[in-house]
Structure 1
Amino acid sequence: MKKTASDWVLRAAPTEGIERIEAWFGGKAYGMHRHDTYAIGRTLAGVQSFNYRRGLRHSVPGQTMVLHPDELHDGQAGTGDGFRYRMLYVDPALIQAILGGRALPFVEGGVTTDLRVSRATEALLQRTEKAQQPFEPLEQHDALTELALALAQAAGAPTVSDSGDYTSAARAHAYLRANCDRIITLDELERVTGRDRFGLSRDFRKFYGTSPYRYLTMRRLDLARRLMLTGAPLADIAAHAGFADQSHMTRQFTRAFGIPPARWRTIASGVASR
């Protein structure tokens, strides 16, 4: 999909209710149009300008664009240097299912510096290129839940108290621990717990202080650390602990503990041998 010799658009493999793109445009990108989805993204370089709700908006690196469904907008470079961006298109039904009947969040102005929205958006925009490892079902659901909650907070939506279903959350907790070394689907978790995925995600956060995918990842990392102390190759450990590959394990390990696996093993083995 090219506009000029230099403009380009990359599209990630779509998943249910979500599309992702990364693009660069040197000037005019799009005329006035609208989506029936949320359009949420980050400008990576340059100035991204667009008309939205009777005003001209500008997005620069460090900000997040949040365009509400069915709102007219266009897109063009704000300077002669062009702009590069990543955008996420989310079916509002997914956001609604997570929020459980609350009004869809509306973020005024179309551009925000809200840190929680930024982090949630960044998590879902990590993998734009088709060749990159796709999201696990729980991983994407976790990131989408965080995005919905972040949007609601940024929009000033009132918090709704919910007593939650502890029994279902406890079943999920035990099941994730017992099966951390493989991919677990959302349908599978619903069958095990008897709770729908959106309610279960809210309950798990309420009773265990973290998301189901985050809990699953940490149990995988616990297993990986135990295996590292045996001296097994890191690639074999990654496969055995349920990670897609060694680089996937390294990213998650470094994010969780602040140092890469090889460095951790060197330090831990040295301490253990004293």
Structure 2
Amino acid sequence: MKPRGRVQMLRCALDGVEATVAHTTHTFARHSHDRFGLGVVIAGGQRSASGRGPVEARATDVITVNPGEVHDGSPLDERGRAWRMLYFTPSLVTATLAECARTPLREVELTRPVLNDPQLSMCFARLFEVAVHDTNEGPVSDNLACEEALLALFAHVGRHYATSAPPGPERNRSIARAKSRIDDEPASASTLADLAAEAGMSRFQLLRSFAHEVGLPPHAYRMQRRVVLARQLIAQGTPLADAAVSAGFSDQSHMTRAFVRLLGVTPAGYAAAVR
């Protein structure tokens, strides 16, 4: 299975940052990331339902996503859309924003999913230029330029588009136990009955409550966690077929379909970018 269009992971000189470029008509299923995402739409437009409401983004718009924010994405028309994205680990974002603000921070939330801000776009373009390179080229070595561009980007984000994250809703402890079971063992073949027993409720109650509180039904959430596990294994150098089995997929083809559906990139493409 191949993505409809081009979605490519690129090497990034900064630790804790992943880069993606895309020009695609692919429709992304509901999913979430474990990182902050920040990017710029280069051409076309996208419609998405995010944790901050339904949004549309067009060429030159900056787009953002918070860790754990369930969202999808589809093109506005048959021409698709193109974008550049950078994904930052939460610890990197929190530390950088705290450094810029000279204020300790624990949790941060980006406040708006779509922005039209030429200065922010310029800051993003500068960071992408100095930190990201094609997989066929050697690594970028100008660490000073990368650090300067990173600080400039998040100094602007911190002044205008970031806030301390409000406390999350207190999750039903029963659902939290079921979710933790998936988080701890995403490769496990747990059934809905197993998860319901963990939560102490019927299968129907578990299915309804899990989707309401997590944003995804149990199967979709487990598939996402399996993709996360497979990515970790691939980044560590595990062969693709072994990573597929270890992450709970029936075979490499099954893993590839899940990667493309959620990320728009194949496991082989991801491996080329991170190894």
TM-score (structure 1 length as normaliser): 0.51
Q: Structure 1, unaligned stretches of length 5 or more?
A: 159-274
Larger Rg: 1 or 2?
1
CA distance in 1, matches of 2:36, 2:94: 12
Q: Name the residue aligned to 1:49.
A: 47
1:130 maps onto 2:129 in alignment: no
CA distance in 2, matches of 1:137, 1:121: 16
CA distance in 2, matches of 1:147, 1:104: 18
The root-mean-square deviation of aligned C-alpha atoms, in Å, is: 2.3
What SS is found at the alignment partner of 2:47? Answer: strand
- Which range moves more in the overlay, 137-146 or 125-134? 125-134
User: Is this contact kept in 2: 1:39–1:87, CA < 8 A?
Assistant: yes
Task: Map 1:96-107 to 2 at 5 A.
Answer: 96-100=94-98, 101-102=104-105, 104-107=107-110
> 1:52/1:23 Cα in 2 relative to 1: closer, same or farther (>3 Å)?
same
Structure with more contact order per residue of length (Cα contacts < 8 Å, sep ≥ 6): 2
The alpha carbon displacement at 1:122 in A equals 1.3
Structure with a larger share of its residues in strand: 2
CA distance in 1, matches of 2:155, 2:40: 18
User: Is this contact kept in 1: 2:112–2:161, CA < 8 A?
Assistant: no
Instruction: State the number of aligned residues.
Output: 155
Identity %: 24
User: Is this contact kept in 1: 2:110–2:163, CA < 8 A?
Assistant: no
TM-score (structure 2 length as normaliser): 0.51
Task: Map 1:48-127 to 2 at 5 A.
Answer: 48-53=46-51, 55-100=53-98, 101-102=104-105, 104-126=107-129, 127=132
CA distance in 2, matches of 1:154, 1:54: 17
User: Is this contact kept in 2: 1:52–1:74, CA < 8 A?
Assistant: yes
Q: Name the residue aligned to 2:3.
A: 3
Task: Map 1:1-274 to 2 at 5 A.
Answer: 2-4=2-4, 7-14=5-12, 15-28=14-27, 30-53=28-51, 55-100=53-98, 101-102=104-105, 104-126=107-129, 127-132=132-137, 134=140, 136-155=142-161
Q: Structure 2, unaligned stretches of length 5 or more?
A: 99-103, 165-275
User: Is this contact kept in 2: 1:2–1:9, CA < 8 A?
Assistant: no
- Which range moves more in the overlay, 146-155 or 96-105? 96-105
> 1:128/1:49 Cα in 2 relative to 1: closer, same or farther (>3 Å)?
farther
Question: Runs ≥4 in structure 1, deviation > 6 angstroms?
Answer: none
